[in-house]
Structure 1
Amino acid sequence: MPHTTDIGARLLYRDALVLVIDKPAGLPVHPGPRGGETLTDHLDALRFGLPRRPEAAHRLDRDTSGCLALGRHAKALARLGKLFSSNAVDKTYWAVVSGGQTDDLGSIDLPLARRSSDPRSWWMKADPAGDPSLTHWRVLGRSEGLTWLELKPVTGRTHQLRVHCAESGWPILGDPIYGGAPRGSALHLHARALSLPLYPKRDPIVVQAPAPAHMEGALSRCSAPA
């Protein structure tokens, strides 16, 4: 596993239904056509006495770090799946983008569709005939040529945040697909927090993941007075 061989050390939250881990950047959640190591290879270590390993309840890009919810059994996965599919989960991301807005907050309402009809391709594009896609954003800090954003996707389209930022004229730092960064660059996109309304009579479960090491330098620069 990139950066660590101890998935248990990346556990942020645990109860009878759900686990939340801090997924490292560079580790795919699901197996792909090229094969190779995935998160699934490490999930047996998170069974905690249950007969089956947990499974991811949603997706994070391979190069995105941060909060990933896992269902501990089939009923838990079904409940989580309904929450994510109905956009009931409040998701908060941190991103460092090149350039940035002069405003302090706003929204991006831009439909998205796949670039290719090849089902193996996940690359997306802005398309008026595509699926509705909405992202709210807020500036958390600025530095010369960079902006630290809080991004809240209302919808959950593939690569939504990456395309929305790029199409707005401020691509996410280190994005080789939509931002023109060199291949192998470190994507500065982090799933900072999840709020899961999993239990009807309780407050939502709120979990935060610390910023990854590869983003600390840019975040530190952006937190200084611009």
Structure 2
Amino acid sequence: MTKSPSQTASETVVSPRVQQHIIDDERAGQRLDNYLISQLKGVPKTLVYRIIRKGEVRINKGRTKPDYRLKEGDTVRIPPVRVANKATPKAGKRLTESIEASILYEDERIIVINKPSGLAVHGGSGINLGLIEALRDARPDQKYLELVHRLDRDTSGCLMIAKKRSALRDLHEQIRNDRVNKVYWALVEGRWANRKQQVNAPLKKNTLQSGERVVRVDPEGKPSLTRFRVLEPLKGSTLIEATPVTGRTHQIRVHALHAGHSIIGDDKYTPREVNMAFREQGIKRLFLHAAALEINLPGSGKRQRFNAPLPEELEQGLKALRNE
């Protein structure tokens, strides 16, 4: 087959010609940028936003913006797209088996996974492969798999994956209307007072001169509220339960720090000497775990709670502290 003059051996044609997609009920309500990312597999997000900005993507023959919410019956024009060849990362057998073994619940609409610490929920920012990419790789026949929400890379525990667009819409609506309850367990330095039951402090993202991104309490930040409860006082530390009312980046970590008790193992917000002291007790990672999640099941509406047991390494760390 003869190559077109504009196609080189170092390029892959993702979309060989203009495509016209008609949006059905399953995709209605999705943002345009997220829809294109799901359709143009392997295309960098920067390129997706570029073709939208240049007007090459059209909705009902008109230009639009990345955050446009698709409507049932919309016609989406997708231009021809080529990207440079690069090896597509593949999930190893050990990783896929680990993810499958971590599934707490699954039906025809959702999956709830007890995410391991150290595994990013998605690729990007120097990470080739995240949990969602590994799951898609392990289940090639599953047409739709999308993250409902996110957990930090080093946080373990309950994570939801939608298997249908309608389930994703349902769960996002529940999140917006405060019908999803999330409970985290964290080990913090020092003795947390029982009377300290919530932190209500606005949070703002910042970028340091080094390029590192951090979150800080700032009057100009977004309103943020976390409720706390003491579970168990331990030597030099406290096991607490945290329930975020809002859902800001690093919210629990920064609110705990603001309360004067940073989370053990947090290499971004906790002093190094504190982390080193607890490493001797076997706590070598961020002690933050999404222990429980309560939702209305998409489809049935039945209220259901999922519990993710603490990982073995955190249990062993608690045991060492109790023995002290």
Conserved? CA contact 2:167–2:298, under 8 Å:
no
Shift of 1:171: 0.5
1:91 aligns with 2:190: no
Task: Say which structure, 1 or 2, has more relative contact order (CA 8 Å, 6+ apart).
Answer: 1
Residue range with higher mean Cα deviation, 20-29 or 4-13: 4-13
CA–CA distance in structure 2, aligned partners of residues 89 and 69 of structure 1: 11
Equivalent in 171, 177, 181 of residue 262 of structure 2: 171
Give the aligned partner of residue 74 of structure 1.
Answer: 165
Conserved? CA contact 1:100–1:169, under 8 Å:
no
1:104 to 1:209, Cα distance in 2 relative to 1, 3 A = farther
Q: Deviations over 1:106-149 (max 9, x none)?
A: 0111110101399x965211011211111111111111101000
Whichever of the two has the greater Rg, that structure is 2
Q: Partner letter of residue 286 of structure 2?
A: L
1:147 to 1:117, Cα distance in 2 relative to 1, 3 A = closer
Q: Partner letter of residue 90 of structure 1?
A: N
CA–CA distance in structure 1, aligned partners of residues 268 and 136 of structure 2: 32
Give the aligned partner of residue 23 of structure 1.
Answer: 115
Equivalent in 132, 135, 148 of residue 239 of structure 2: 148
Spell out the pairing of 1:10-49 with structure 2 (5 A cutoff).
Answer: 10-44=102-136, 47=139
1:220 aligns with 2:319: yes
Shift of 1:18: 1.0
With normalisation by structure 2, the TM-score equals 0.62
SS at match of 2:232: strand
Q: Which runs of 4+ in 1 moved over 6 A?
A: none
1:172 to 1:58, Cα distance in 2 relative to 1, 3 A = same
Give the aligned partner of residue 194 of structure 2.
Answer: 103
Give the aligned partner of residue 158 of structure 1.
Answer: 249
SS at match of 2:132: helix
Aligned length: 222
SS at match of 1:75: helix
SS at match of 1:35: coil
Give the aligned partner of residue 287 of structure 2.
Answer: 188
Residue range with higher mean Cα deviation, 127-136 or 108-117: 108-117
1:133 aligns with 2:224: yes
Shift of 1:32: 2.0
Give the aligned partner of residue 204 of structure 1.
Answer: 303
Q: Partner letter of residue 31 of structure 1?
A: G
With normalisation by structure 1, the TM-score equals 0.87
Give the aligned partner of residue 149 of structure 2.
Answer: 58
Q: Partner letter of residue 104 of structure 2?
A: L
Conserved? CA contact 1:122–1:158, under 8 Å:
no
1:46 to 1:129, Cα distance in 2 relative to 1, 3 A = same
1:116 aligns with 2:207: yes
